[in-house]
A and B are shown apart, each in its own frame.
Chain A
Amino acid sequence: MTESTTEDLRIERVFDAPRELVFNAWLDPDQLSGWYGPEGYTVPRESVIVEPREGGRWELAMVPGEGGGEHPLRSEIVELVEPSLIVIENEEIPDHGIGVTRTRVELHDEDGKTRLVLIDGPYEQRMGEMAGMGWNGAFDKLAVIIA
């Protein structure tokens, strides 16, 4: 009844860069500290730990520019295929009611460009349960009410 996979977040993006470059951007601490943090956050270089192998650590901290507590992200690389696949498993975040999630980054070559397919989740396993319970119809109604 739980169809968590259907609730994974999926995003595709084409980058005008070869796969090797995109692949390295996910594994090189210097590069990660430059681009990974959300808007308004920085990722201190010294917080980034990447052990580029299956079973290796993939960790960093996001620090809000406005001050306040940092958000550590502790993950483990579970699949690594150069230059086409990176799968990391993210530690649970109990404060957000989030269990263990996986971030899967597929890199497909398209004539020298790179199509990145990102699959992230399951973020809301219970949403899957809701779907199985016929909750979707009620949720549609709610969406109308909320809008």
Chain B
Amino acid sequence: MQADELSRTFSALGDPTRLQILSRLAEGEATVSELAAPFPISLPAISRHLKVLESAGLIERDRDAQYRPSRLQVEPLGAASEWIETRRRTWEERLDRLDRHLQSLQRGTQSDD
């Protein structure tokens, strides 16, 4: 996944209404009016949120169906949740190298490790 896609995913996730919409869609597909039901905001406002989620690839909507039910697309979410794990692996590997570096320092041998 490209950095700009990941950035779009995070920015799409950074809104309480959109997070709730995604939580609802985790239960199964839903139409705009079903998604709007819990919110005190207008259908057009919900539609705008859905557009943001769609352009981030987080949901997909049927073009032809009358009510255009939305479905969750999990792939970008997977990438988002992997991000911290990626950072963890980077740090673990870095500390491995620090360990080797400290060992070679103490052996009195200069190392490029």
Number of interface residues of B (CB under 8 A): 44
Would you call B14 an interface residue if the criterion is a C-beta within 8 Å of the partner chain's C-beta atoms?
yes
Q: Give B74 Cβ to nearest chain A Cβ, in Å.
A: 5
Q: Give B55 Cβ to nearest chain A Cβ, in Å.
A: 15
Contact assessment for A34 and B19 in the assembled complex, using a CB-CB cutoff below 8 Å = no
What is the predominant secondary structure among interface residues of chain A facing chain B? helix
Residue of A nearest to B75 (CB): A146
| A: interface residue count bin | 35 or more
Contact assessment for B23 and A134 in the assembled complex, using a CB-CB cutoff below 8 Å = yes
Residue of B nearest to A116 (CB): B95
Within 8 A of A (CB), among B27-68: 27
Contacts A96-B3, A146-B78 given: A35-B97 contact, CB under 8 Å? Answer: yes
| A15-B97 Cα distance, complex, nearest whole Å | 11
Q: Give A76 Cβ to nearest chain B Cβ, in Å.
A: 20
Contact assessment for A123 and B84 in the assembled complex, using a CB-CB cutoff below 8 Å = yes
Contact assessment for B102 and A138 in the assembled complex, using a CB-CB cutoff below 8 Å = no
Contact assessment for B84 and A126 in the assembled complex, using a CB-CB cutoff below 8 Å = no
Contact assessment for A21 and B26 in the assembled complex, using a CB-CB cutoff below 8 Å = no
Q: Give A118 Cβ to nearest chain B Cβ, in Å.
A: 6
B residues contacting A by CB (< 8 A) are 3-4, 6-7, 9-11, 13-14, 16, 19-20, 22-23, 26-27, 72, 74, 77-78, 80-81, 83-84, 87-88, 90-95, 97-103, 105-106, 111-113
A-B contact pairs, 7 of them (CB 8 A): A13-B95, A15-B99, A25-B102, A116-B95, A123-B84, A133-B19, A138-B23
